[in-house]
Structure 1
Amino acid sequence: MNLGPLEIGLIILAILLLFGYKKLPDASRSLGRSLRIFKGEMKGMKDDDSVGGGVRGKEPAKTTVRGEIVTPAPSTAEADVLAAEAHAAELRAAELRARAEQARTSDRPS
């Protein structure tokens, strides 16, 4: 079954009439989250099968709260690594802000 431009346009028009243009961003955002969760769960099931016996490897168990994936708090070693990465990212951002400010001040006419 091939959908031409006319059929796609009619589908879009029907969706607009059903939901209204104000609710479409929320509906599409919700659909995207649902697809992301579904994809993650399918990947998790695939990983479970490859690990064997339904036991996950070192990946923490994921749960969903109000449609969002939530993972448990990382272990101390993982938290230290994440903190170091966050600190490095903050330093890089500060360096880039300083360069941008320097470029702005040097571009101003005297």
Structure 2
Amino acid sequence: MAMNIRSRFFSEVDAQKYAKSGALRLQARAAIPGGAHTYAKGDDQYPLVSPGFISRGAGCHVWDVDGNEFIEYGMGLRAVSLGHGFPAAAQAAVEQLLRGTNFTRPSSLRSNVRNV
């Protein structure tokens, strides 16, 4: 009996551990070519037992929709140098958002953010 790649490397335990991600993967692939808006984030770029859909991040840790925790070595494709949810950066963003965004006319808004 021939064994396909998915069954060789993706056990029943793995399937249960990533059930929500698997369901979202099917939905994403039906709506978006390759299942992601960026090729580098697509299914074929990562092992099956990696986080499929991330629900949150804190520092260098991320959690997928199934509740599995990972260290995100890629850090948002290298764009998150301070880590996810860095408190000073998040607070500065919230303060600025509360002042308003995307005005019809030029704005004199200035950040009161100090060096992080």
Larger radius of gyration: 1
Do both proteins adopt the same fold according to a TM-score greater than 0.5, normalized to the shorter chain?
A: no
- Length-normalised TM-score, structure 1: 0.31
Higher strand content, 1 or 2: 2
- Length-normalised TM-score, structure 2: 0.30
Higher helix content, 1 or 2: 1
Higher relative contact order (CA 8 A, sep 6+): 2
